[in-house]
Structure formats: C-alpha cells, structure tokens
Structure 1
Amino acid sequence: MPLHLTKIAFGAESADSLRDWLESHGSGGEARLTTRYLPKREAELAGGSLYWIHQHMIVGRSPIIGFAEKPDGKHWIRLEPRLIAVTPRPRRAHQGWRYLSEVNAPADATNTEAGDSLPAEIASDLARLGLI
C-alpha cells in the first residue's frame, strides 16, 4: 500500500482555484512544489498522492510522480497536474507536509461533476457534526 502526503493549499481561494493552479503549472506533464527536505520515506510514496487541505478539509489529491533535487539543494515534489476530488474529510492545519497512510486516506469522490460537491465550509460544518 502506498504512503501519501498532506499539504495545505496555501493561497488557494477554493478547490477550483487549486485545480486551475495545478493545470497552469503543469508544464511538461507535471506540476512542481518546492520543499526544503526530501521525505525520508520517499520510496514508500511511489504510487501515492499529495492530499490537499483547504479550509481545514481534505478536498482533493494529486498523484505523486516522484521527487527531484533542485540546483539550490532543495527538492521538488513532482505531481500530475490534476486535482482528483475526494470525499471531504476534516484535517487540522500544519506546516509543510505530513504523511498519510492508505487506510486513513479519504476515498475519491464518486460524483465529480462541477457544482456537485459541497463547499468546503459546509462540508467542514457537517463533518464536525458527524453527518459526513
């Protein structure tokens, strides 16, 4: 079972704006995020995804292609430039990235048509009440 990462979608106004950013930065078939350190469990992340947190909810995932070292000694997290909607799940904010096991990862959303997903704020409220 692959291991996954979680990361805050810093600066994203919505899941749609995150999707737009990924698609616009997808030159050469991949989007790149800069990180200071290479994950120690890099080999376990093969086949995994980066799960995006927006407004304290996991809202989507981007499959991880791999990692590459930058000329300045930092590293890139290489991602497929797409956002796959997942069943919203509450997640506390954190700095950088964190590991997420397969058993704790939210399932992909079954209905991904535009306008069919709940806004993050409503999904967050419903999750706090135990309704989703």
Structure 2
Amino acid sequence: MPLHVIKLCVGCDTVEELLDWRATAAARGEAWILRTRQTPKRAAEIVDGGSLYRVYKGQVLSRQRILEIATVGEGAAARCEMRLDETVVRVAPTPRRAFQGWRYLEAKDAPPDLDGAATGDLPPELARQLREAGAW
C-alpha cells in the first residue's frame, strides 16, 4: 500500500484557484514542484504510488501523484523538492483540521477519488453543506 503526504494548500481556497495558478506557472515552462523544509524519511514508500493530498479551508479536496522526492542544498540550507504529476484528482471532501508543515497519510485514511458522476457539477461549497446536513 502506498504512503501519502497531506499538506495545507496555502494561498488557494479552491481547486480551481490552484489550477489557475498552475496554468500561469506552466506557461513559463516551470515543472510542478512542491518545496518544503523537511524531506520525508519514508520517501521511497511515498514515491512508490503515493500522492500529495491538499487541504483547502479545512477540507481535503484534491490529490496529485508524487513522482520524485529530492533533497537540494546542504546543512541548514537543505530543502525538499517533490515533483508532482500535472493531473489534479478531486477527492471526496473530507474535513481536516489545520496543522503545520506536512504529515504522512496512510492509504486506509485517504479520502476516495471522486468521479464526475458522484458529484455532477455541484459547487464544492454546496457539496460540503449537503454532507454536513447528512443529505449526501
């Protein structure tokens, strides 16, 4: 079973905002790289099928496959770079409290992927309200 990573999506409130931001960076020819301070000690498990799950305003809403994890720099200047797949997969909105940095996420705890039929064209906020009301 793959091991995943979960991280807050700071600066974007929706998946659409993340995709708009990415389109701008892609137009400049930039690879999709997540930079973070700490390199996971279990990187081999993550690269073997793991994904980055993103939390937007208290809800896990999307994931991306992690293709490569590398440490750049040395000593106190060392940082982690995670190269991500360009495909953003929407997942079943799942509440998640705020935290700092990133955390490991076991496959058994990861929210399931959504297919288009599961949500139709419901806005994410309406889908969240329906779930909270127990209607969905």
Same fold (TM over 0.5): yes
SS at match of 1:11: coil
Amino acid at match of 2:67: I
Q: Which residue of 1 aligns with 2:71?
A: 69
Distance in 2 (alpha carbons) for counterparts of 1:4 and 1:131: 29
Q: Which residue of 1 aligns with 2:128?
A: 124
Distance in 1 (alpha carbons) for counterparts of 2:22 and 2:107: 23
Q: What is the root-mean-square deviation in Å for CA atoms of aligned residues?
A: 2.5
Amino acid at match of 2:17: S
Aligned residue runs from structure 1 range 30-109, under 5 A? 30-46=31-47, 47-71=49-73, 72-109=77-114
Larger helix share, 1 or 2: 2
> Contact 2:3–2:106 (CA<8 Å) still a contact in 1?
yes
Larger of the two Rg values belongs to structure:
2
> Contact 2:13–2:57 (CA<8 Å) still a contact in 1?
no
Query: 1:130 deviation in Å?
Result: 4.0
Q: Which runs of 5+ in 2 are unaligned?
A: none
Distance in 2 (alpha carbons) for counterparts of 1:24 and 1:68: 24
Scaled by the length of structure 1, what TM-score is found?
0.83
Distance in 2 (alpha carbons) for counterparts of 1:127 and 1:5: 24
Amino acid at match of 2:94: R
> Contact 1:66–1:77 (CA<8 Å) still a contact in 2?
yes
% same residue: 38
> Contact 1:56–1:124 (CA<8 Å) still a contact in 2?
no
1:27-83 deviation per Cα after TM superposition (whole angstroms, max 9, x unaligned): 46x411111111121121121100111121111101101111223411111111231
Q: Which residue of 1 aligns with 2:12?
A: 12
Scaled by the length of structure 2, what TM-score is found?
0.81
Equivalenced residue count is 130
Q: Provide closer, same or farther for how the CA distance between residues 35 and 116 of structure 1 changes in structure 2, counting only shifts above 3 A.
A: same
Query: 1:10 deviation in Å?
Result: 0.4
